[in-house]
Amino acid sequence: MLKEKMKSWKHIFKLDPAKSINDADLNKIKQSQTDALIIGGTDNIEATDVIDLLLRLTDTSLPVILEVSTMKAIVPGFDFYFIPLVLNSQDKKWMMDIHHHAIKEYKEYLDYADYFLEGYCIFNEDAKVFKKTNCKKPTTEDAVAYAYMAENFFKLPSFYIEYSGKYGDVDIVKAVKAELKETLLFYGGGIKTLHEAKEMSAYADVIIVGNVIYENIDQAIETTKINEK
């Protein structure tokens, strides 16, 4: 079961299909100590780009996950599918209605797919994903209450603190972690150094590293060394 495997994960690289990466850099990712690869992004996500990237990852033994952000870029062949529910969106659409619509079309497929729900809480007001999903900036108290709902109301397997491009507030990550027992805590946003990776890893079960891949590949690879002293 995916959920059991993930309990041992600490680090995921997130690759954006709308951004280009050369083979040498992609090989460094594949050979790194990361635990899994997510393909996902917010803007200009096209199925052809997702397929291209997936095909370039056929030679890795790492789990390859599609984070479904738009219906038009759902591609078969991934090991797992991550499905975000935006808990702090002000619109029901991003919490569950687009998913409801998708289930009506693809239910037969979902019965066989290995999918995993992410209870997103988005903090960075300047991020495209924050604006696109019409979020309201959560306080620490809001975030803790969303985490409570994710775990106790909806039994979500993961709660995702998303700072999307900006390094977040460690105290919020710490407060949310203290609330969760079963639900895994994901943290993503602005991690560019091993120090930051270690800092967030102290509380988050899994950290997700994305943008720095495209800015400084060697520094990105360094963030996988969170278990080293």
Please select the residue that binds a copy of itself; options are 29, 36, 45, 85, rule is CB under 8 A: 85
What is the distance in angstroms between the CA of the first residue and the CA of the last residue of the chain? Answer: 31
CB of 23 to a copy of itself, least distance (A): 38
Q: Which parts of 130-189 interact with a copy of itself (CB under 8 A)?
A: 141-142, 145-146, 148-149, 152-156
Task: For a copy of itself, give the closer residue by CB, 13 or 159.
Answer: 159
Three-class DSSP category at 166: coil
CB of 67 to a copy of itself, least distance (A): 16
Q: Is 92 in the site for a copy of itself (CB under 8 A)?
A: yes
Q: Is 79 in the site for a copy of itself (CB under 8 A)?
A: no
Please select the residue that binds a copy of itself; options are 26, 68, 87, 209, rule is CB under 8 A: 87
Strand stretches in the chain, DSSP E: 11-15, 36-39, 64-67, 80-86, 115-122, 158-162, 184-188, 206-209
On the CB side of 171, CA atoms within 13 Å amount to 3
x-or-dash string of contact with a copy of itself, 113-132, rule CB under 8 A: ----x---------------
CB of 155 to a copy of itself, least distance (A): 4
Please select the residue that binds a copy of itself; options are 90, 125, 128, 216, rule is CB under 8 A: 90
For the chain, give percent helix, strand, coil, nearest 5.
Answer: 40, 20, 40
- Residue 170 parent element (H or E): helix 170-179
Q: What is the 3-state secondary structure (H, E, C) of 74-96?
A: CCCCCCEEEEEEECCECCHHHHH
CB of 113 to a copy of itself, least distance (A): 11
Q: Is 108 in the site for a copy of itself (CB under 8 A)?
A: no
> Going by C-beta distance under 8 Å and a sequence separation of 6 or more, which residues neighbour residue 100?
none
Report residue 198 as tokens.
């270690």
CB of 198 to a copy of itself, least distance (A): 31
Q: Is 100 in the site for a copy of itself (CB under 8 A)?
A: yes
Binding-site size for a copy of itself (CB under 8 A) equals 27
- From its phi and psi, is residue 87 left (phi > 0), alpha (psi between -120 and 50) or beta? alpha
d(CA 68, CA 42): 10
Which residues form the interface with a copy of itself (CB under 8 A)?
Answer: 83, 85, 87, 89-92, 95-96, 99-100, 103-104, 107, 110, 117, 141-142, 145-146, 148-149, 152-156
